Structure 1
Amino acid sequence: MKKTILFVLLLFSITNLFSQQNFILHLKNTTNNEPIQSATITVKNSGFGTVSNDEGTFQIVASSNSDILISHLEFKTTTISLDKIDSKTNTILLEPNTIELEDIIVTKEPINELLYKAVETSKSRFNKPIVLNTYYREFVKVNDKYTRFTDGLVDYHMIKSKADLIVNQSRAARLISEDDQTLDVASGLDVRSATTKQYTFSALEKILFDGKKYEDYDFELKSRVEKSGNEVYIINFKPKEELKKYLYKGTVVFNPENYLITDVEINSDQSKLEYSKTINILIVKAAMLDLKVKSTYKVTNGGNYLLAFSSRRGKIKIWNKRKYNDVIEFKSDLVVTDFKKEDFVYNKKDVYNERSLYERGNKYSDKFWKKNNSMVLTDEEAEIIKKLELESKSVN
């Protein structure tokens, strides 16, 4: 009898394993057929998830009868079964959230205090210890030319106020030739803080709550009822028009019942660009030209509250009288593909302590970027990677 049960369980596991498929799908706007980027996709009743790229494309590994939940700040949350998607187009259409459906709320409590409450509540609610299995990638551009690329499978062991990184696989490449005079610099981002900054809402803290900076901003609170019937609160903030400062604008979405934040989006206000401060860094001067931060969070069926996706973009100009006059862009994307509540034992010697994943170089055993719900490259990015793979084969 025991042997029969074990056989059935083994057969079920094998069947389930082979029923998993890698779906590559596209998200588009119903009104104008434009691609939808940065939408969060989750396989229901699991921890698996991914995000759509700048062309609205995403890949997800799941069984064909799985339901996926698609959410985006500007579109109605949609649930669809993978076997219901048109296999000819592999396209899912999302309906925009119209402004007319949002109600402005007037409260006695200042909106900045409501936002602070949401931030503090969310910070205290995150599950820790927890292991976030992620796909992480970075690009660096100098004067509009790609110069560096790196990506990898990184486990973030979230422990209290810090995270230990275990890098399972990675690849990295310098995208300019040795005789190219383009400046080759590291990203301004730190892979080690890619989750901790999102778990502490550090961008919101620095922009709004450090030294009562919220006094530089106008706030607006709106309410919207989602397609599911759930109500969400939306806080928009923007600089006061009369201020001559380099400031930001942004949106924060949270659940009014439990005050858990689901979306954060912050952008430099380009109308205030002329007030960007010049700072001295060693032998050069530098000025911030643009900064974009976007994060999404989710509550799983098991009640776990965790990061789902984060994107960071930066653009700075550096110059001096003799040599430099360059615009440097850097961007990173992190997708939480799965998670484990247990804080598994790992060797402290294996913890990755470099600022950039680029330093680890090429250490991979398979094409991990085509698996594990990794973020799909855009056509332009894919051409860059294709070139890298051809160069790698010629070297080997």
Structure 2
Amino acid sequence: MRTFLLFWFGCLLTIAHAQQGDIHLVFKDAETQAPIEDVTVTVLRTKQNYISNPEGRVSFALTGVSSIQIAHSSYESQSVRSTALKLKENVIFLKSAVNTLDEIVITKQHPQKILKGLIENSVDKLTTPCRLKVYSREFFKRNGNYMFYNDGLLHFQISGKNKDFKNDILVEQNRSIGLVDADVSQDLLGYDLNNIMGNYYNFKYLEPLLEARARKDYDFLIKSYTKNDNYYLMVINPLDPVKGFKDDYTILYDKKKKIILEVSSSVTPNAVANAPEKRSVGARNLYKSNYKNIYRYAGDNEYYLLSSREEIGFERVDKKDVRTEIEVRNYFITTGFSRNEFSFKESEIFKDKALFNLKDKILTDYWNVSGLVPTPEEETIIKNISDEP
């Protein structure tokens, strides 16, 4: 009898282990073995999204069995069953769809006009009303040292259309680590949470490219995207000589659906090198600025912001011969999407610009199931800030 009970209990443990546990994935390029960042992993049973970090890593807990969808704009999509992921660390190699060179696409319309149409159609197609479950993470650096960190689990309820997008924010959990004095808190140039969705849903960062003079300031080029025949890549670079701070842009879009899937930009090195130095007190000399947004399309009723990554660095002139370097790095991951609206009280709506002003509310270790695994370097930064008196 005792032997039978032990056998039966062992079976239960085996079944429980098969149905519940942590899954660790590492994505690598099949040819170069290099880690792949921004791989989207979707657990189809729960509709939960995760995204790989710069080391190509994704970790999540899973109860039950599910198909797992793997997608990246530059690689072939895959689907695996959770039961096949039995190793402590499962390495998945992704293959580029095609290995030929991208070709320049000749169009009857100027690419600027095509971009204008892409933005208008994308804004119209973005799904609203909807609810996004979002994990936000922010690092703050002063004079080369990390001083402050915050993250949070937020719910955005988005309504409206076109230029009239609105959102209400509920903060489920949040934490702030480190102290930021009044002298620098105004320079936390991270997400202004109460207008960020409006900016992303209206593609506000692309507005300079639609101005009339942009044709004189930028070179617009459309290329085939051989890694996926359904996409085109628009590359927009400032013409020399670069005047003022101008970015290099890349915009990946679906050429049939006419919707934007990825947007990235960075201030050109030439712009930084040639920018005149500002010396007046309070002035800011920018030396770094880049961002990347990924939008997920999963059918006509699911088109939304999946992730955003922004980084900015500048030197602030405090007074003569006294300067402060400020850097901020932000991540923004939509882990869950729903068309169902939630109800709330007006008093529950978060109306501040940033989480660092909000009292900590920690119910679970939500950062470990956030959808974005911190790199060892980031974990060290957070620990070091935590250990500061």
Deviations 1:250-281 (A, max 9, x none): 21111111111111111111122134466689
Match of 2:255 in 1: 256
Deviations 1:107-154 (A, max 9, x none): 111111111111110001111111111111111111221111000100
Determine whether 1:112 maps to 2:112. yes
Candidates 191, 194, 197, aligned match of 1:192? 194
Alignment of 1:154-193 (within 5 A): 154-160=154-160, 161-174=165-178, 186-189=187-190, 190-193=192-195
Deviations 1:277-313 (A, max 9, x none): 66689x4211221211111111225731111111111
Whole-Å Cα distance in 2 between the matches of residues 239 and 302 of structure 1?
35
Whole-Å Cα distance in 1 between the matches of residues 313 and 252 of structure 2?
26
**Conservation of the 8 A alpha-carbon contact between 2:221 and 2:236:** yes
Whole-Å Cα distance in 2 between the matches of residues 367 and 100 of structure 1?
45
Whole-Å Cα distance in 2 between the matches of residues 336 and 345 of structure 1?
20
Give the letter aligned to residue 239 of structure 1: P
Whole-Å Cα distance in 1 between the matches of residues 351 and 319 of structure 2?
35
Match of 2:5 in 1: none
Match of 1:5 in 2: none
Q: TM-score, normalised by structure 2?
A: 0.85
Q: TM-score, normalised by structure 1?
A: 0.83
Match of 1:224 in 2: 225
Alignment of 1:322-361 (within 5 A): 322=320, 324-361=322-359
Q: Counterpart of 1:344 in 2: which secondary structure?
A: coil
Give the letter aligned to residue 22 of structure 1: D
Alignment of 1:311-326 (within 5 A): 311-322=309-320, 324-326=322-324
**Conservation of the 8 A alpha-carbon contact between 1:246 and 1:275:** no
For these two proteins, the number of residue pairs brought into alignment is 369
Return 5+ residue gaps in structure 2 as ranges.
Answer: 1-14
Cα deviation for residue 175 of structure 1 reads: 6.2
**Conservation of the 8 A alpha-carbon contact between 1:284 and 1:324:** no
Match of 1:295 in 2: 293
**Conservation of the 8 A alpha-carbon contact between 1:308 and 1:336:** yes
Q: 1:277 to 1:170 in 2, by over 3 A?
A: farther
Identity %: 23
Return 5+ residue gaps in structure 1 as ranges.
Answer: 1-14
Give the letter aligned to residue 293 of structure 2: S
Match of 2:8 in 1: none
Whole-Å Cα distance in 2 between the matches of residues 286 and 374 of structure 1?
34
Whole-Å Cα distance in 1 between the matches of residues 179 and 73 of structure 2?
34
Cα deviation for residue 382 of structure 1 reads: 1.2
**Conservation of the 8 A alpha-carbon contact between 2:231 and 2:255:** yes
Determine whether 1:136 maps to 2:133. no
Q: Counterpart of 1:106 in 2: which secondary structure?
A: coil
Whole-Å Cα distance in 1 between the matches of residues 49 and 385 of structure 2?
27
Q: 1:243 to 1:70 in 2, by over 3 A?
A: same
Deviations 1:133-186 (A, max 9, x none): 11111111112211110001000111221211110100001168x9xxx96665
Q: Counterpart of 1:192 in 2: which secondary structure?
A: coil
Determine whether 1:203 maps to 2:205. yes
**Conservation of the 8 A alpha-carbon contact between 1:85 and 1:91:** no
Cα deviation for residue 214 of structure 1 reads: 4.2
Q: 1:288 to 1:390 in 2, by over 3 A?
A: closer
Q: Counterpart of 2:225 in 1: which secondary structure?
A: strand
Whole-Å Cα distance in 2 between the matches of residues 134 and 295 of structure 1?
14
Q: Counterpart of 2:356 in 1: which secondary structure?
A: helix
Give the letter aligned to residue 262 of structure 1: L
Q: Counterpart of 2:128 in 1: which secondary structure?
A: coil
Deviations 1:343-372 (A, max 9, x none): 22211111111111111132111111112x
Match of 1:246 in 2: 245
Q: Counterpart of 1:105 in 2: which secondary structure?
A: coil
Q: What is the Cα-based RMSD across aligned positions, in Å? A: 3.0
Whole-Å Cα distance in 2 between the matches of residues 184 and 126 of structure 1?
34
Whole-Å Cα distance in 1 between the matches of residues 202 and 277 of structure 2?
27
Whole-Å Cα distance in 1 between the matches of residues 322 and 77 of structure 2?
47
**Conservation of the 8 A alpha-carbon contact between 1:223 and 1:231:** no
Whole-Å Cα distance in 2 between the matches of residues 361 and 139 of structure 1?
18
